[in-house]
Amino acid sequence: MSGYTEGIIILLCINAIAAMGVSVLTGFTGIFSLGHAGYMAVGAYTTAILTVEYGVHYIPAILLGGAMAMVIAYVIGVPTLKLMGDYYAIASIGLGEAIRLILENWQSVTRGARGYPGIEGYTTLYVSLAFFAVMAFGMFNLINSRFGRAFKACRDDYIAASLLGFNTARYRILSLVISAFYCGVAGALLGGFLSFIQPIMFDMIKSTELTSVVVFGGLGSMSGTLLGASIITLVTELFRPISQYRMLIYGAILVLIMVIRPEGIMGQYELGPRLFRRLKDKFSFRNRDNSEGRSS
Partner 1 sequence: MKRVGIVLLVSALVLSLGAGAALAADTIKIGYLAALTGDWAAYGQTEEKTAQLAVDEINAKGGLLGKQVELVVYDFRTRAEDAVNAVRRLAEEDKVVGIVGANGSGINIATAPLVNRYGIPQIGTVSTNPFVTVDKNGKVRPYSFRVCFTDPYQGKLIAYFSAKELGKMQAAILYDVGSDYSQGLREFFMKSYGEYGGEVVADLGFRAGQDVDFRAQLTEIRDKKADVLILPNMGKEMALIMKQARELGMDDIVFVGGDGYAEFMWEIAGDSMENSYWINHVSPDDPAMAKFFADYKAKYNDECKEFVNGILGYDAMYLMFDAIQRAGEADPKLIAKALSETKDLQLHHAVITMDEFHNPLDKDGIIIVAKDGHGQFYMKIKPE
Partner 2 sequence: METLLQQTINGLSLGSVYALIAVGYSLVYSILLFSNFAHGGFLVIGGYICYFTLKSLGFNIWIAGFASLVGAGFSAVLTERLAYKPIRERTNVTLYLLIASMGMSIVIENIFVIVAGGRFRALPPVIPTHPVHIFGLATTSAFDILSLLAAVFFLGALQLFLIKTKWGLAIRAAAYDLRTAGLMGVNVNLLISIVFFVAGFLAAVGGIFLSVRYTLYPQLGMITIKAFVAAVIGGLGSLPGAVVGSLILGLAEMLTAGFISSQLRDLVVFSLLIITLLVRPQGLFGKNISEKV
CB atoms near residue 24 (< 10 Å): 27
Instruction: Identify which of residues 71 and 194 has a Cβ nearer to partner 1 in the complex.
Output: 194
Question: Can you give the three-state secondary structure of 120-152, one letter per residue?
Answer: CCCCCHHHHHHHHHHHHHHHHHHHCCHHHHHHH
First to last CA, the chain: 45
Number of residues that bind partner 1 (CB under 8 A): 47
**124 near partner 1 (CB under 8 A):** no
Residue 95 or 197: the one with the smaller Cβ distance to partner 2 is: 95
* 60, interface contact from partner 2, partner 1, none, CB < 5-8 Å by kind: none
The single residue among 243, 290, 291, 295 that binds partner 1, judged by CB under 8 A, is 243
Q: Which amino acid is at 68?
A: M
Cβ atoms of 85 and 68 closer than 8 Å? no
> Whose Cβ is closer to partner 1: residue 241's or residue 293's?
241
Interface with partner 1, residue 125, by CB under 8 A: no
Assess 247 for contact with partner 1 (CB under 8 A): yes
Residue 242 CB, shortest distance to partner 2, in Å, is: 11
Which residue's CB is nearer to partner 2, number 123 or number 212?
212
Nearer to partner 2, 200 or 204 (CB): 204
Distance CA(266)–CA(152), nearest Å, equals 17
Binding-site ranges for partner 2 (CB under 8 A): 32, 79-80, 82-87, 89-91, 93-95, 97-98, 101-102, 105, 204, 208, 211-212, 215-216, 219, 244-245, 247-248, 250-255, 258-259, 262-263, 290, 292-296
Work out which of 112, 136, 162, 166 binds partner 1, going by CB under 8 A.
Answer: 112
- The crossing angle, in degrees rounded to 10, of helices 3-23 and 204-217 is 80
SS (H, E, C) 160-218: HHHHCCCCHHHHHHHHHHHHHHHHHHHHHHHHHHHCCECHHHHCHHHHHHHHHHHHHHC
Q: Which one among 55, 126, 146, 244 touches partner 1, defined by CB under 8 A?
A: 244
Helix axes 168-194, 3-23, angle to 10 degrees: 160
Do the Cβ atoms of 190 and 14 come closer than 8 Å?
Answer: yes
| Euclidean distance between CA atoms 100 and 39, whole angstroms | 10
How many residues are recorded in the chain? 296
Q: Does 278 bind partner 1 (CB under 8 A)?
A: no
- Contact letters (x/-) for partner 1, 18-57, by CB under 8 A? ----------------------------------x-----
Question: Site residues for partner 1, window 128-187 (CB under 8 A)?
Answer: none
Given partner 1, partner 2, none, residue 294, with its beta carbon under 5 to 8 Å by kind, binds partner 2
Identify which of residues 74 and 250 has a Cβ nearer to partner 1 in the complex: 250
- Whether residue 46 contacts residue 210, with contact meaning beta carbons closer than 8 Å, is answered with no
Which residues, at least 6 apart from 24, have a Cβ–Cβ distance to it below 8 Å? 139, 142, 143, 151, 175, 178, 179, 182, 222
Smallest gap, in angstroms, from Cβ of residue 216 to partner 1? 13
Residues that bind partner 1 (CB under 8 A): 2-4, 6-8, 11, 14, 52, 101, 104-105, 107, 112-115, 117-118, 121, 190, 193-196, 198-201, 206, 234-244, 246-247, 253, 256, 260-261
